[in-house]
């Protein structure tokens, strides 16, 4: 059975897409820690990020870098943090999170509640910075 992320890539479940190429897809986290919190995923359905072959893992990070730089332009921050957890969704993914300090990366923090219009504006701001 396809993961929720594979269904998002296929267009079966809506998302706020930020970037896409032939191998990777980036979209806003629906439960963001901060504005700009984005997920980068491979189109290939792989549960554990370190099960990707070396070429795909490296390419995923290059793709994530491009998205992270755009996030940093769209949402000025000290740095864009990267986290790989992978416990909730069995599809490899990288969290890109604009940070002012380390506490912005705590997944135990309350999640933002954004409106549809706010999500659209965040995604557009990142796309415009690509």
Q: Hey, what are 16's tokens? A: 């706020």
Distance CA 128, CA 130 (A): 6
Q: What is the 3-state secondary structure (H, E, C) of the chain?
A: CCCHHHHHHCCCCCCCEEEECCCEEEEECCCCCCCCCEEEEECCCCCCHHHCCHHHHHHHHHHHHHHHHHHHHHCCCCEEEEECCCCCCCCCCEEEEEECCHHHHCCCCCCCCCCHHHHHHHHHHHHHHC
Mean pLDDT by 10 residues, the chain (130 residues): 94 98 98 98 97 98 99 98 93 98 96 98 99
Q: What is the pLDDT of residue 86?
A: 83
Residue that is written with structure tokens 């963001």 in the block: 32
Domain extents for the chain? 4-129
Alpha carbons 92 and 51: distance in angstroms, whole number? 9
**pTM given for the model:** 0.96
At 103 the pLDDT is 96
**How much is the pLDDT for 1?**
72
Q: Is 95 a catalytic residue?
A: no
Catalytic one of 37, 91, 93, 95: 93
The CATH homologous superfamily to which domain 4-129 belongs is HIT-like (3.30.428.10)
Q: What is the dihedral of CA 22, 24, 29, 35, to 10 degrees?
A: -90
- Position 105 scores a pLDDT of 96
Instruction: State the virtual CA torsion across 2, 10, 113, 99 in degrees, nearest 10.
Output: 90
């Amino acid at each position: 059975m396809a993961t929720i992320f594979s269904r998002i890539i296929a267009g079966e479940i809506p998302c706020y897409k930020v970037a896409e190429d032939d191998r990777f897809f980036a979209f806003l986290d629906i439960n963001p820690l901060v504005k700009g919190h984005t997920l980068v995923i491979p189109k290939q359905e792989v549960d554990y990020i370190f099960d990707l072959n070396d070429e795909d893992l490296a390419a995923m990070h290059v793709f994530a870098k491009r998205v992270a730089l755009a996030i940093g332009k769209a949402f000025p921050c000290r740095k864009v943090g990267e986290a790989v957890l992978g416990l909730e969704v069995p599809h490899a993914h990288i969290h890109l999170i604009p940070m002012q300090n380390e506490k912005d990366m705590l997944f135990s923090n309350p999640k933002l509640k954004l409106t549809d219009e706010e999500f659209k504006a965040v995604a557009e701001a990142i796309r415009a910075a690509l």
